[in-house]
Structure 1
Amino acid sequence: MNELQGAGVALVTPFNTDGSIDFESLGNLIDFQINEGMNYLVSLGTTGETATLSTDEKKQVWKFTSEKVNGRIPLVAGIGGNNTIEVVDQVKNFDIPGYCAILSVSPYYNKPTQEGIYQHYKAIATASALPIILYNVPGRTGSNMSPATTIRLAKEFNNIVATKEASGSFAQFNEILRDKPEGFLLISGDDPVTLPMIAIGAAGIISVVGNAYPKEVSTLTKLALEGNYQEARNYHNRLLAITDMCFAEGNPCGVKYILQQKGIGTDYVRLPLVPIGTSLQEKIKAEMQNF
C-alpha cells in the first residue's frame, strides 16, 4: 500500500453555525491539504466527529470529498464502531469511488476481549472489498488491541494492510515491527510521536494537527522517512506546543479554532463537544504568531 506511505490527515468536518455541514469550507480544507503537500486524506475518521453524523450525512461527505479530490491524492474512508453487524453492513455497502482503503477504529466502550477484537476485524475483513487499516486508540476506546492480535490479523487476512497505532507504547510498536508480515505498515496515530515512530520503522502519520499545519506535518514526515532526523527535529519541536493546545479541550475543538483563524470554516462542533474557552483561544493565538 504505497498510497499509505508518508503524511495523511484525518479531516475535520466543518459545520456552519446552525450545525449543518459546511461543504464550501470542506472543499477549501481539501484544497489546502493537497496544496500544502499532504500525501493522502482520511474522510470521516473519528476526528471528523463521525459519532454525531447521520448515515445520509456520512454518504454526502464521502461523495463530496471523492469528487473534490478527483484523484489528485489517495483517499481513505473511516468506517468503525462498536456494533460489529452495523460496521460490517456499512463496509459491505460502501460503493463510493475514489477510495483506496478503509480505516476502522477498534470497538469502543464494550471493552471486548482480544478474541472479540479479532472476531470483529475478521468480520470486517471478510466483508470488505477494500484494504483495511486497523486503528488502536485505547485512551478513547477503553481497551487496547495487543500486538499479538494485530499480528494475528495481519498474517491471516491479506486485505488487512496497516495499523494506525495511538497506544503510546513503544514496547507495543517494537513488537509489531518485529513480528509483522512483510509489507504490513505501522502508522503513527499520535502527532507528538511521529518522528520517533518513523525512526524505528513506521511508515508515517495519520495526523490531526495536519488539518491546520499540513506543510509542517508533511515536511516533518518526509524528512524523517528520508533519514534527515536533524531537520525533522526542527519541525517536531516547532509543532509540540501547538499540538498540546489542539488537544487540551477535546479533539477536534482546538484544531477547528486554528482553522477558523486561518479563514477555513467556523469553530462549531456538535454536542457533546463545545468550542474551546477564551483562555485557550488566547494561548493558541499567541502560539500561532510564532509560526
Structure 2
Amino acid sequence: MKLEGIIAYPITPFKAENQDIDFDALTITLNALLEQECSAIAPLGSAGESAYLSWQEWQQVAEKSIEVVNHRVPVILGISELTTTMAIQKAKKAEELGADVIMVIPISYWKLTDQEIYEYYQQIATATKLPIMVYNNPATSGVDMSPELITKMFQEIENICMVKDSTGDIQRMHKFHELTQGKLPFYNGCNPLALEAFCAGASGWCTVAPNLLGKLPHQLYQAAKSGNLTQAQTLFYKQLPLLRFIVQGGLPKTIKAGLNELGFNVGDPRKPLQKASPSEVNQLKSLIKIAITQ
C-alpha cells in the first residue's frame, strides 16, 4: 500500500462529567476531518491519548473509528505497547476490525537493543497480514531507531512497508532515501518540518493540524507536489506559528482546546494531563485566526 498526502490524526473525546469516551463527539470530529481532503485517518496515536485508554476503550475507539470512516479513506490504527504480547493482541484486533494499516511504536522502560526492537516488529508482523508503518518518536517512546535499523526491518520483514519519523531531523529522511534507493516511503511526523520534508521527498505528512486548520495542510502538500515552492512556502509560513504552538503545548491539550473553541465539545485531556489555561486558549484562538484568514 502506498499512501500519499495528509494522514490526519483525530483526538479521543471525553465527556466532561466523568471522562468516559464520548462516541458522539468522536463521530462528529472524524466526519469533520474527512472533509479536509485527508488521504488517511490515524486514530489512537499520541494525540488520541492511546496511552491513557484501557484495552476495552482502545477496542471501542478502533471499532467506532473504522465504522465512521467506512472505507472513505484508509484507517491506520496506532499501537504503542511495552510488551510484544499486548502489541500482537492489538495487531490481531486491528485486523479483525478491518483496519487497513497498523502504525507501531515500541515503548521502552528498559532501553531496548536493536535486536530486541527487530524481534518486536518481526513477531507482530508474523501475527498479522496488515501492512505496518514503523513509527519513530523517541520523545514519547524512549526508543530511537536508527535509519539503518528501520531499513533492515523494511528489507527483511515483509509487512513493514513505510516509516513515520518524528525526530525533526531532516537528515533521517535523506538517509532513508539513500539507504533504500528511494524505495521506502517515509512520512513526516514533525509538524514544523512539513515544508522541508515534502521537499526531501516525503510521501506524506502525519499530522493533527487538519483538526484546526482545515484544508491548509492538504493545500501545502498539493503545492509541494506540483513543484510550486513559492506557494508552498506561503502556505507553510501561515501554519508554522500554530504548528509550533501545538507541539510545544502538547497535542491532546492544545488540539482539544482548539476544537472546543471551534464548537466541537470534545472535553479535556485525561488526567494527569491538564487542559489548556485561559491564556493558552486565547493564544490558540489568535493563531488559528491568523492562519486561516491571512
The TM-score normalised by the length of structure 2 is 0.93
Residue 250 of structure 1 aligns with which residue? Answer: 250
2:224 maps to which residue?
A: 224
Shift of 1:182: 5.8
1:15-30 equivalent positions in 2, closer than 5 A: 15-17=14-16, 18-30=18-30
Q: Which residue of 2 aligns with 1:13?
A: 12
* 1:111 matches 2:111: yes
Q: Extract unaligned runs of 5+ from structure 2.
A: none
How far apart are 1:284 and its partner, in Å? 1.3
Spell out the pairing of 1:81-92 with structure 2 (5 A cutoff): 81-92=81-92
The answer as to whether partners of 2:80 and 2:107 remain within 8 angstroms in 1 is yes
Task: Spell out the pairing of 1:152-231 with structure 2 (5 A cutoff).
Answer: 152-180=152-180, 183-231=183-231
Alignment-derived partner of residue 38 in structure 1: 38
Instruction: State the 1:181 CA deviation.
Output: 6.2
For the residue of structure 2 that corresponds to 1:219, the secondary structure is: helix
Q: CA deviation at 1:183?
A: 4.1
The alignment yields a C-alpha RMSD, in angstroms, of 1.6
Give the drift of 1:78: 0.9
Counterpart for residue 48 of structure 1: 48
Query: How has the CA–CA distance of structure 1 residues 64 and 117 changed in structure 2, closer, same or farther, with 3 Å as cutoff?
Result: same
Residues 196-232 of structure 1: CA distance to partner in whole angstroms, max 9, x if unpaired? 1111111011102222223111111222122222111
- Structure 2: distance between partners of 1:254 and 1:7: 20
Deviations 1:16-54, CA, capped at 9 Å, x for gaps: 102011111111111111112111100111221011111
Count residues with an aligned counterpart.
290
SS at match of 2:237: helix
d(CA) in 1 for partners of 2:140, 2:79: 16
User: 1:128: which partner in 2?
Assistant: 128
**CA–CA distance in 2 between the matches of 1:26 and 1:279?**
26
Match of 1:276 in 2: 276
- Cα distance in 1 for partners of 2:243, 2:192 equals 7
For residues 98 and 86 of structure 1, the distance between their equivalents in structure 2, rounded to whole angstroms, comes to 19
**1:220 maps to amino acid:** L
Per the normalisation by structure 1, the TM-score is 0.94
Q: Percent identity?
A: 28
Alpha-carbon contact 1:135-1:163 (below 8 Å) kept: yes
Partner SS, residue 149 of structure 2: helix
1:220-260 deviation per Cα after TM superposition (whole angstroms, max 9, x unaligned): 12221222221111121011111122123322110111111
Q: Compare 209-218 and 49-58 and name the one that shifted more.
A: 209-218
**1:135–1:165: 8 Å Cα contact kept in structure 2?**
yes
- Check the 8 A contact 2:45/2:79 in 1, yes or no: yes
Residue matched to 2:76: 76
SS at match of 1:48: coil
Gapped regions of structure 1 (runs ≥ 5):
none
- Tell me the amino acid that sits aligned with residue 13 of structure 1: T
Judge which range, 205-214 or 271-280, deviates more.
205-214
Residue type at the aligned position of 1:217: P
Q: 2:164 & 2:37 partners in 1: Cα distance? A: 20
Structure 2: distance between partners of 1:267 and 1:196: 34
Question: Counterparts of 1:214 and 1:149 in 2: how far apart (Å)?
Answer: 35
Aligned to 2:241: 241
- C-alpha distance in 2 between matches for 1:148 and 1:93: 30
Q: Is the 8 A contact 1:71 1:98 kept in 2?
A: no
